[in-house]
Amino acid sequence: MFDKVLIANRGEIALRIQRACREMGISTVAVHSTADENAMHVRLADEAVCIGPPAATESYLNKHAILSAATITGADAIHPGYGFLSENAEFAAMVEEHGFTFIGPSPQHIREMGDKITAKQVVMEAGIPVVPGSSGAVRTAEEAGKIAAEIGYPVIIKATAGGGGRGMRVANSPDELATELQNASREAKSVFGNPDCYLEKYLGHPRHIEIQVLADNHGNAVHLGERDCSLQRRHQKVLEESPSPALNAEQREEIGQVVATAIKKIGYRSAGTIEFLFEDGKFYFIEMNTRLQVEHPITEMVCGIDIVREMIRVSSGAPLDFAQEDIKFQGHSIECRINAENPETFVPCPGKIGEYHAPGGLGIRVDSALYSGYTVPPHYDSMISKLIVHAATRNECLMRLRRALSEYVIEGLDTTIPLHQKLMAEPVFQNGDYDIHWLEKFVGK
Amino acid sequence: MFDKVLIANRGEIALRIQRACREMGISTVAVHSTADENAMHVRLADEAVCIGPPAATESYLNKHAILSAATITGADAIHPGYGFLSENAEFAAMVEEHGFTFIGPSPQHIREMGDKITAKQVVMEAGIPVVPGSSGAVRTAEEAGKIAAEIGYPVIIKATAGGGGRGMRVANSPDELATELQNASREAKSVFGNPDCYLEKYLGHPRHIEIQVLADNHGNAVHLGERDCSLQRRHQKVLEESPSPALNAEQREEIGQVVATAIKKIGYRSAGTIEFLFEDGKFYFIEMNTRLQVEHPITEMVCGIDIVREMIRVSSGAPLDFAQEDIKFQGHSIECRINAENPETFVPCPGKIGEYHAPGGLGIRVDSALYSGYTVPPHYDSMISKLIVHAATRNECLMRLRRALSEYVIEGLDTTIPLHQKLMAEPVFQNGDYDIHWLEKFVGK
Amino acid sequence: MSKSDIDNDMVRQLAELLDETGLTEIEFGKGDWHIRIAKSGTVVQAQAPVAAPPAAPVAVVAPEVAAVNPGTIKSPMVGVAYLTPEPDTPNFVAVGDSVTEGQTIMLIEAMKVFNPIHAPKAGKVIQIIAENGSPVEFGEPLMIIE
Amino acid sequence: MSKSDIDNDMVRQLAELLDETGLTEIEFGKGDWHIRIAKSGTVVQAQAPVAAPPAAPVAVVAPEVAAVNPGTIKSPMVGVAYLTPEPDTPNFVAVGDSVTEGQTIMLIEAMKVFNPIHAPKAGKVIQIIAENGSPVEFGEPLMIIE
């Protein structure tokens, strides 16, 4: 096992990793920018090294500075957390070249999964369902009609050269298909100078469901169930829950097995997440995240596994000490991401924390690096706390969350706690009856 | 279900009950003395009623004031917490006579278990093992020898009229017995004016192990496993753990079944605890606590059951919604009682809290009514917080506890956090190799 | 510590010192007690903000009025206040009445028992704060007699 | 307790000290008692203690000295400081030396690369803070040139 781990991150996730290390008897090195001198992850670490000015590009994204810090402190391994350099294959490779252990997957897997086309190819071959569509450009209405009949209506027509939503059209029937293909092709030609279009199955009201996996260096891989992260605003997850209110036990078991088998086949190691769109009982691959995720705690709550601890263990060469059949899912868990933002306008609100009092009691977990008197710097992400609740059932979980939100005191700046309170009171959320578009409409009201 | 519950207590347990009520959609009434106007349980309650001056006899022990408060607020039920009126049969009866529900056992069970001799009789008849001994005074050395041979050496000779340790002598062999019986009898006569003595099995190095039970009004009763509360100072528990490091699965299963069966036989309802001394693989009844206990959270952590919620449910007439076989024990949990006391002299240290920052993250639960700026009043118990930790194994639990203790900030007064930190570093504790006398010696060092 | 432990002379002494020296605050502690006096004006703050948990408690009844008036009679118990001896009879006392020491001025019902509240000294009824038939908490102001 | 426990002269003395020194607050404690005096106006607060999580971080190297001196040269990167061009050669510069703008005054090794640190302006070496072969953090003072 490692003696000393350098944590190449900040905020709550740096603290999360530090806690795991401390509980394993591993010393920690915090690296930080000048803006984070008083941050909790710096104060609580065994050693701290200032690696640069506030701008992330010169500190938390500065590979050389981080590796120098690892060298001068004599660290054995580096945990990248999420964001920053966590999915940077070059960094992972540099870490290993310098003789440190990268606590995460191999550079090769990070690279493969970082490229959308390669990723889709690799997972498809490993048996993971992807969005069906034409394999390339569709030339004629007949060809399009044949493919559409195969994958089922509605279909979406996208310009091969397109992007940003331009030149995209939805067809609900064979009649519409011919017309829309013509329109899309015409628009594609005028906008992108290339009339080529391709077809994909159109998902009108999908949920975002992702499967957490863990794998070691010895060919063992397990899944830890799913998380429903459909509540998003501008592609940022706001609240996540596990299990998903939309899955039944059979679907859960089936997709979990498919994913675990694929992960084993790919030869992946460490923690990772396969993200899907889910609609009408079917899963469609979006991407794989080759790192620890913000919302990992809800999985820890329902399956009783410390994911960060396991990441550290497997990267030190230890085998997973549980098999798929040892993993039991118990109860329900929800995470509220609390941001330093105006809860209506979502304008970020950095500043100094006045009173700070976290909720306590049964079933409450708070992952946060806040403390009374701390100043939230304006340079980084606005997420300042994760309130995670666990209870026997989804309904009890909602009641407990409501109670915890009402106890949470964060004075001195605006937070999104009121948004979460509004969500708790909303029947659509209470019924678990939302898709990835719902929250955007809800907050727009 | 109740609409409104009055909580006849203060401090962390009042808050604990309030949280359970809130999570069940039940309104709460806090009652408080003038010393507790700014207490958390008062601030967070739906309604608050001042019932008297600081002295507990005139406020938290004032039955009439509490019942008046229940009347004027229109409460449906009263939860007594622990301490104060929680084991007062007269109060429980008054609550019911006034048409409120008492969230606890029947007055009759409280009364029976409140009397040591009756309690021993009742549980013995229900099949619970008690300390073996003579059924009354022992007249002759022959009679004593016969009984001692039956129950096994060492035995303790106690004056029938005795108390406070006077006139108690231990005999390790038949030879010693004759001599010590004479000595004890002589001393008993001179001290108490009555030479009668009786015999009991002597336990030299017992552990304190207790079994948590839950029963409803419909004849269902379950046990929730054991807690090891051997770490005591002046008969005050300091740290509790579940499961006990001293029990194996078979012993656990066996004593649990014995207790659950007895509870059913007695016709007990609500939560309760049977306390035992445990030595050389055998259990000996001490007493039954007919109330919620301070250390109930560790049981909640290992079996995933909200005991306060269940107490409220069953007292409203609902049946337990799980059977014995549904209860699974997972991992290990430890509670540290944190007192406002000097950690070496144990002198109470009430006063104003400066900075307050509770530990967070995976597996941490804090049950406390403290907040920054709160003044701990000098009138009541010095326990100000319970730090409860849960982890997969006992060793991980100790590591996590160590981490959590190092994160806990309570400024402005002395606390027993350093005592717990000292305990964590102590091999005897780490090995789980302690009896009820050990801590007293440890802190005396 | 009861109110009578506060040494008025000491407060006066400290207040004089405060004025004399132009200070805005003096704090003094010894053994198990301390005192702090302050005089605001331009004082921004000399205090950490109170760590108020958010939800304000809804006191059943909580008039703050007259709590400091020395003639205020406070409720010795939780219960329901009655200003009349029987339903449909006049109040025990009315504002402006003179009362004698020991005279019953209202009843407080607790546990089905009607407890008479007596005037602690002779005087004149300045204000009746409790309402007939309303619940009162321990220590809640009932009436002012001066 | 009695009022004679409060030492008027001490309060006056502290008040004078406060005025004389331009302080806004003095707090003093000894044995089982303490005193604190304050004067507002410019006083912002008798401040709440910083919510320091308990464990003080062990900075790898953290001399606070000279951090504010305008002639202080701070490390532009994390690495290891070398005061000599090669092992067993004399230092680039010594205290008392005059340096020209752009002159190499030390090296910082980061990622196997030796980065020369240049004097930002001409001047005299007042103090060499970094030690040969020691790790330095970003922003850590290396040398003072005036």
Residue B259, domain CATH: 3.30.470.20
Domain tally for chain B? Answer: 3
- B333 and B187, same domain (yes or no): no
pLDDT for res D92: 96
Instruction: Write out the residue range of the structural domain in which residue A166 sits.
Output: 132-201
pLDDT for res A436: 96
Q: Which has more confidence, B444 or A128?
A: A128
CATH of the domain at A25: 3.40.50.20
Confidence band (pLDDT; 50, 70, 90) for D63?
Answer: very low
pLDDT at C4 over 70: no
- B172 and B295, same domain (yes or no): no
pLDDT at D52 over 60: no
Confidence band (pLDDT; 50, 70, 90) for A316?
Answer: very high
**B277, part of any domain:** yes
**B102, part of any domain:** no
Q: How far apart are CA D9 and CA D12, in angstroms?
A: 5
Catalytic option among B291, B313, B337, B400? B291
- B51 and B170, same domain (yes or no): no
Q: Which has more confidence, C3 or A264?
A: A264
Confidence band (pLDDT; 50, 70, 90) for A91?
Answer: very high
Which residues contact residue A235 at a Cβ distance below 8 angstroms, ignoring those fewer than 6 apart? none
- Interface residues on C facing A, Cβ-Cβ cutoff 8 A: 49, 51-55
Q: Does C30 touch chain D (CB under 8 A)?
A: yes
Q: Which residues of A touch D59 (CB under 8 A)?
A: 47-49
Confidence band (pLDDT; 50, 70, 90) for D46?
Answer: very low
Q: What is the mean pLDDT of residues B140-151?
A: 92
The letter for the amino acid at B216 is: D
Q: How far apart are CA B416 and CA B21, in angstroms?
A: 30
Cβ–Cβ under 8 Å, residues A342 and A349: yes
C57/B52 Cβ within 8 A: no
**B419, part of any domain:** yes
Confidence band (pLDDT; 50, 70, 90) for A137?
Answer: confident
pLDDT for res B276: 97
Q: Which residues of B touch C78 (CB under 8 A)?
A: 49-52, 65, 68-69, 72
The letter for the amino acid at B139 is: R
Q: Does B428 touch chain D (CB under 8 A)?
A: no
D6/C14 Cβ within 8 A: yes
Q: What confidence tens digit (pLDDT) does each residue in C113-131 have?
A: 899 999 999 999 999 999 9
Q: Which residues of A touch C55 (CB under 8 A)?
A: 406
Residue of B347, B403, B409, B421 to mutate for D, most D C-beta atoms under 10 A: B409
**Closest partner CB to A50 (pick from D53, D55, D139):** D139
D41/C21 Cβ within 8 A: no
**Closest partner CB to C43 (pick from D1, D36, D43):** D43
pLDDT for res B164: 61
Last residue of a domain, one of B87, B108, B124: B87
**Closest partner CB to B358 (pick from A331, A358, A396):** A358
**A117, part of any domain:** no
**A355, part of any domain:** yes
Q: Please give, rounded to a whole number of angstroms, the shortest distance from the CA of B121 to a CA of chain C.
A: 36
Q: Is the ipTM of this complex over 0.85?
A: no
- B157 and B188, same domain (yes or no): yes
Measure CA of the first residue to CA of the last residue in chain D; give whole Å: 59
- A137 and A223, same domain (yes or no): no
**B97, part of any domain:** no
pLDDT for res B188: 86
**A112, part of any domain:** no
- B41 and B139, same domain (yes or no): no
- Interface residues on B facing A, Cβ-Cβ cutoff 8 A: 15-16, 19-20, 22-25, 44, 297, 300, 304, 306, 330-331, 355-358, 360-368, 371-372, 391-392, 396, 399-400, 402-403, 406-407
Q: If you count residue pairs, one on B and one on C, with CB atoms under 8 Å apart, how many are there?
A: 78
Q: What is the mean pLDDT of residues D99-104?
A: 95
B400/A361 Cβ within 8 A: no
pLDDT for res D23: 66
- A330 and A422, same domain (yes or no): yes
Q: Which has more confidence, C35 or B83?
A: B83
pLDDT for res D62: 37
- B255 and B301, same domain (yes or no): yes
- Interface residues on A facing B, Cβ-Cβ cutoff 8 A: 15-16, 19-20, 22-25, 44, 297, 300, 304, 306, 330-331, 355-358, 360-368, 371-372, 391-392, 396, 399-400, 402-403, 406-407
- A378 and A253, same domain (yes or no): yes
Q: Please give, rounded to a whole number of angstroms, the shortest distance from the CA of B78 to a CA of chain C.
A: 16
Confidence band (pLDDT; 50, 70, 90) for D49?
Answer: very low
Q: How far apart are CA D16 and CA D18, in angstroms?
A: 5
Q: What confidence tens digit (pLDDT) does each residue in C57-97 have?
A: 333 333 444 446 788 999 999 999 999 999 889 999 999 99
Q: Does B411 touch chain D (CB under 8 A)?
A: yes
Neighbour tally for D90: CB within 10 Å: 10
| DSSP state letter for A341 | B
- Closest chain B CA to residue A12: B361
Question: Mean pLDDT of all residues in chain B?
Answer: 95
pLDDT for res D7: 74
Last residue of a domain, one of A147, A174, A201: A201
Confidence band (pLDDT; 50, 70, 90) for A412?
Answer: very high
Last residue of a domain, one of B201, B226, B253: B201
A354/C49 Cβ within 8 A: yes
Which residues contact residue A295 at a Cβ distance below 8 angstroms, ignoring those fewer than 6 apart? A227, A229, A237, A240, A335
Q: Which residues of B touch A357 (CB under 8 A)?
A: 356, 371-372
* Catalytic residue ranges of A: 291
A19/B361 Cβ within 8 A: yes
**Closest partner CB to B362 (pick from A44, A365, A407):** A365
The question of whether B19 is a catalytic residue gets the answer no
pLDDT at A84 over 70: yes
- B289 and B404, same domain (yes or no): yes
pLDDT at D59 over 60: no
Residue given tokens 């794989």 in the structure block: A288
Q: Is B11 helix (H, G, I), strand (E, B) or coil?
A: helix
The letter for the amino acid at B162 is: G
Which residues contact residue C81 at a Cβ distance below 8 angstroms, ignoring those fewer than 6 apart? C75, C106, C107, C108, C130, C131, C132, C133, C134, C135, C136, C142
The letter for the amino acid at B72 is: I
pLDDT at B352 over 80: yes
Q: What is the mean pLDDT of residues A143-169?
A: 85
pLDDT at C55 over 60: no
Residue of B67, B72, B347, B353 to mutate for C, most C C-beta atoms under 10 A: B72
pLDDT for res D37: 75
C14/D37 Cβ within 8 A: no
pLDDT for res D8: 74
CATH of the domain at B159: 3.30.1490.20
- Closest chain D CA to residue A40: D53
Question: Mean pLDDT of all residues in chain A?
Answer: 95
Q: How far apart are CA A192 and CA A208, in angstroms?
A: 30
**B420, part of any domain:** yes
Q: Does B433 touch chain D (CB under 8 A)?
A: no
Q: Which residues of C touch A406 (CB under 8 A)?
A: 54-55
Q: What confidence tens digit (pLDDT) does each residue in B57-104 have?
A: 999 999 999 999 999 999 999 999 999 999 999 999 999 999 999 999
- B308 and B361, same domain (yes or no): yes
Helices (H) and strands (E) in chain B, counts: 15, 20
DSSP string, B241-293: EES-TT--HHHHHHHHHHHHHHHHHHT--EEEEEEEEEETTEEEEEEEE-S--
Q: What confidence tens digit (pLDDT) does each residue in B339-348 have?
A: 999 999 999 9
C135/B53 Cβ within 8 A: no
Q: Please give, rounded to a whole number of angstroms, the shortest distance from the CA of A26 to a CA of chain B.
A: 11
A357/B372 Cβ within 8 A: yes
pLDDT for res A190: 85
Indicate if the alpha-carbon torsion angle B244, B249, B250, B256 is positive or negative.
Answer: positive
- A290 and A390, same domain (yes or no): yes
Cβ–Cβ under 8 Å, residues B83 and C95: no
A42/D77 Cβ within 8 A: no
pLDDT for res C21: 76
Tell me what percent of the residues of chain D surpass a pLDDT of 70.
Answer: 64
A409/C51 Cβ within 8 A: yes
Q: Please give, rounded to a whole number of angstroms, the shortest distance from the CA of D108 to a CA of chain B.
A: 36
Q: For A188-202, A314-328, B242-256, C42-56, which range has the lowest pLDDT when averaged over its residues?
A: C42-56
**Closest partner CB to C46 (pick from D3, D12, D45):** D45
Confidence band (pLDDT; 50, 70, 90) for D50?
Answer: very low
Residue given tokens 């109170």 in the structure block: C50
Confidence band (pLDDT; 50, 70, 90) for B289?
Answer: very high
Tell me what percent of the residues of chain B surpass a pLDDT of 70.
Answer: 99
